[in-house]
Amino acid sequence: MSKFWSPFVNDLVPYVPGEQPKLTKLVKLNTNENPYGPSPKAIDAMRAAVSDELRLYPDPNSDLLKHAVARYYGVDASRVFLGNGSDEVLAHAYNAFFRQAKPLLFPDISYSFYPVYCGLYGVDYEAVPLDEQFQIRAEDYARPNGGIIFPNPNAPTGCLLALDAVEQILKNSPDSVVIVDEAYVDFGGDTAISLVDRYPNLLVTQTLSKSRSLAGLRVGLAVGHPDLIEALERVKNSFNSYPLDRMAIVGAAAAFEDRAYFESTCQRVIASREALVEQLEGKGFEVLPSAANFIFARHPQHDAAGLAAKVREQGVIVRHFKQARIAQFLRITIGTPEQNQALVDALGDLSS
């Protein structure tokens, strides 16, 4: 603690990201990065943007990308908001919608940035327990609240909530903003963007870090009613009116235009996921049903922390959480078939 800190800083509990090791020979299955690179068209567009024009500020509205997103999802551009990664979009949403007298609701096992932002922005919250199968129950959110947020598929479990259940949550809280955080939806779910015309309290957030392989570019978006988008714009323009740089705008727009490449890489990840699940179940693991680019697995005869240490010794990194209900689970990012096989080989014989 420093005498120069504002008083609230000492009480913050910051988010801890997955390890980003400096060694290059490790098989890195711990941060849910896509094993396949970005669209070649996105790379070409970014290369073309490296010019003398970098001396100029980018478009503060990122209209090129905003319209690319709107075309892709079949919505009006007035329903689209863009930010520097979906975490920044979520931060603006907390400021815009969740600083209420009633508590924000989110799952007790979920994206660990949610309580971090509550601490940063002074938002009261209640963590709603998942059921015994680690699923979100829509009926548990039918109570007074100042807002609701949850990932779909959930993280770190990978479990998907059906759109009719999402609708039930929206209907039960018509006076609260409900954010569906769809960082992983492209790997097996249906986006709730199809519902935004019917529910003015719905905001859907997404990222280009996962399914479009642009984690290093930091681009996030939200789609919702124009009233919600206007609130986000007001917050953004009171914080940073130029969130996306020139290369991010053109690269992300090109990624949305290259639908064939996007669909191909998603299908490769899905196929690898199902193959890895089968292999791990053959070794005795219990694997939760996943619609993400990762799986959540535990072995009834082996300690999760011990397994994580075992595979790390052989150059494979997976994510282990110490939270009480999930301390015996490992979150394993889906890699290439070769990377997944390296994990299986590192686990070895678990029958004893």
pLDDT at 351: 80
Domain count, the chain: 2
Q: Identify whether residues 163 and 274 lie together within a single domain.
A: no
19 — pLDDT class (breaks 50, 70, 90): low
Render 316-328 in DSSP notation, one character per residue: EEEEE---GGGTT
The CA–CA distances, whole Å, from 123 to 116, 136, 190, 229 equal: 10, 22, 30, 20
- End-to-end Cα, the chain, rounded Å: 48
Closest CA to 165 of 178, 183, 146: 178
Name the residue range of residue 338's domain: 7-37+260-347
13 — pLDDT class (breaks 50, 70, 90): confident
pLDDT at 60: 95
The CA–CA distances, whole Å, from 119 to 85, 91, 94, 147 equal: 20, 12, 11, 16
Q: Identify whether residues 289 and 200 lie together within a single domain.
A: no
Region 12-32 average pLDDT: 75
Angle between helices 259-282 and 246-257 (to 10 degrees): 80
- Say if residue 90's pLDDT is above 90: yes
Range in 56-60, 125-129, 322-326 the model is least confident about: 322-326
pLDDT at 164: 98
Domain endpoint, select from 195, 223, 258: 258
7 — pLDDT class (breaks 50, 70, 90): confident
Q: Which DSSP helix (H) or strand (E) runs through 167?
A: helix 163-172
Region 93-112 average pLDDT: 97
Q: Identify whether residues 112 and 232 lie together within a single domain.
A: yes
pLDDT at 5: 76
- Say if residue 15's pLDDT is above 70: no
22: left (phi over 0), alpha (psi -120 to 50) or beta: alpha
Domain endpoint, select from 258, 293, 323: 258
- Say if residue 2's pLDDT is above 90: no
Q: Tell me the percentage of the chain whose pLDDT exceeds 90.
A: 90
| Helix/strand number for the chain, H first, E second | 10, 12
- Say if residue 20's pLDDT is above 70: no
pLDDT greater at residue 40 or residue 324: 40
Whether residue 54 is contained in a domain is answered as: yes
- Mean of the per-residue pLDDT values of the chain: 95
Q: Identify whether residues 198 and 341 lie together within a single domain.
A: no
* Distant-in-sequence, close-in-space partners of 306: CB < 8 Å, separation ≥ 6: none
Whether residue 284 is contained in a domain is answered as: yes
Query: How far is it, in rounded angstroms, from Cα 32 to Cα 318?
Result: 10
Question: What CATH number is associated with residue 160?
Answer: 3.40.640.10
pLDDT at 324: 87
* Distant-in-sequence, close-in-space partners of 245: CB < 8 Å, separation ≥ 6: 58
For the record, the structure tokens of 85 come out as 């990664």
Q: Tell me the percentage of the chain whose pLDDT exceeds 70.
A: 97
- Measured at the alpha carbon of residue 351, what is the angle toward residues 349 and 352, in degrees to the nearest 5? 105
- Say if residue 58's pLDDT is above 80: yes
Whether residue 1 is contained in a domain is answered as: no
* Distant-in-sequence, close-in-space partners of 180: CB < 8 Å, separation ≥ 6: 150, 151, 152, 166, 192, 202, 203, 204, 205
pLDDT at 16: 67
pLDDT at 134: 97
Q: What pTM, to 2 d.p., does this model score? A: 0.94
pLDDT at 26: 87
Handedness of CA 85, 88, 94, 95 (dihedral sign): negative
For the record, the structure tokens of 29 come out as 């299955």
**Cα 161 to the chain's mean position, in Å?**
15
Region 119-133 average pLDDT: 96
- Say if residue 22's pLDDT is above 90: no
104 — pLDDT class (breaks 50, 70, 90): very high
Q: Identify whether residues 66 and 154 lie together within a single domain.
A: yes
Query: How far is it, in rounded angstroms, from Cα 40 to Cα 257?
Result: 11
Q: Identify whether residues 30 and 98 lie together within a single domain.
A: no
Q: Identify whether residues 69 and 210 lie together within a single domain.
A: yes
Q: Identify whether residues 141 and 182 lie together within a single domain.
A: yes
Q: Identify whether residues 181 and 96 lie together within a single domain.
A: yes
pLDDT at 222: 98
For residue range 208-261, list pLDDT tens digits in order: 999 999 999 999 999 999 999 999 999 999 999 999 999 999 999 999 999 999
Region 129-150 average pLDDT: 98
Whether residue 170 is contained in a domain is answered as: yes
Whether residue 126 is contained in a domain is answered as: yes
Domain endpoint, select from 258, 293, 308: 258
Q: Identify whether residues 181 and 47 lie together within a single domain.
A: yes
pLDDT at 14: 73
Q: Look at the block and give the residue holding tokens 């590192």.
A: 346
